Amino acid sequence: MSAPALPDLELLQCSLDDGVLTIELDHGRANEMGSAALAEWAAITRFVEAGGARAVITFSKRRSRKGKPLFIAGADVTERKGWSDARVKTHVRHQRNTLARLRRAPAFHVAVVDGVALGWGTEFLLCCDYRLTTPNGSFGLPETGLGILPGAGGTSELWTMVGVAQALRLGMTGERIGAEEAVRIGLVQEQADDLEAALDRARALAAAVARKSPTAVAAFKRGVLRAVGQPALARSEIEARAYEHCVDSGEAAIGRAGFKAILRGEGADWGPLREAKA
């Protein structure tokens, strides 16, 4: 099976090395998320779903005109000028569905935040598997002050990561929080000293995943996400099916055959990504 080709994108700066896809955000005035950027994220998702990458790192070195570091400053609301209410609602449903699909993509996605991540920027983090920040990280959901609510996961998914009380605090008050507070409540998992240190940590995590069986990694992620909110018996069955898929795909046999070499850090000749049938 031939590897899929990396999509030709205009806004997202992508590079692929040893199964790790690195995406640098550098578009618009402040990496705002509009229709064009959303389409490119959909293309990235299809690439990952086809087995194009085992891990993804998303980061930004962008600075504002005044030198303020930026991750994603929010949605591109200027493009909605003149839109009908129906078009706005359709667009936001599309945003929500695109992020949900990216969340399920069979790769380990690490976000590195060095700057402002407001509104859509905070919601984007919810589709990532692991989140790092620098002291420059700034997070918040200002939408209720604009007569709307966070519509790309901030209302439906944020509470699953930070708890109901913290989600209500962020969404109802619009309060901005810094890096240390984001780590404390679980919005991000680690804080690094600066961007390069955070990127080094992200690369180490991504490289570790890239050495593993892509089928097993995908099965594990799918099993964990499907188990959320399920009763104990259902969770056990989800795990059983995920494990059996690793056996049926032949990856378990590869692991057994190469066990000693794997322990020595030499890796194994894993097969291509084989996603379980729904």
Edge-to-edge, what's the strand order for the sheet holding 130-133? Answer: 12-17, 20-25, 55-59, 108-113, 130-133, 190-191
Structure tokens at 271: 């097969």
Catalytic residue among 32, 40, 49, 143: 143
Edge-to-edge, what's the strand order for the sheet holding 116-118? Answer: 70-72, 116-118, 138-140, 177-178
239 is catalytic: no
The whole-angstrom separation of Cα 236 and Cα 128 is 24
Catalytic residue among 32, 40, 49, 123: 123
Q: H helices within 117-258, ranges in order? A: 120-125, 158-162, 164-173, 179-185, 195-210, 214-227, 232-248, 251-257
b or e along 128-145 (b: 16 or more beta carbons within 10 Å of the residue's beta carbon)?
bbbbbbbebbbbbbbbee
Which phi and psi (to 5°) does residue 176 adopt?
-85, 145
Q: For residue 240, count other CB atoms closer than 10 A to its CB.
A: 11
The identity of residue 272, as a single letter, is P
123 is catalytic: yes
Tell me the three state secondary structure of residue 40. helix
Tell me the three state secondary structure of residue 145. helix
Hey, which residues are catalytic here? Answer: 123, 143
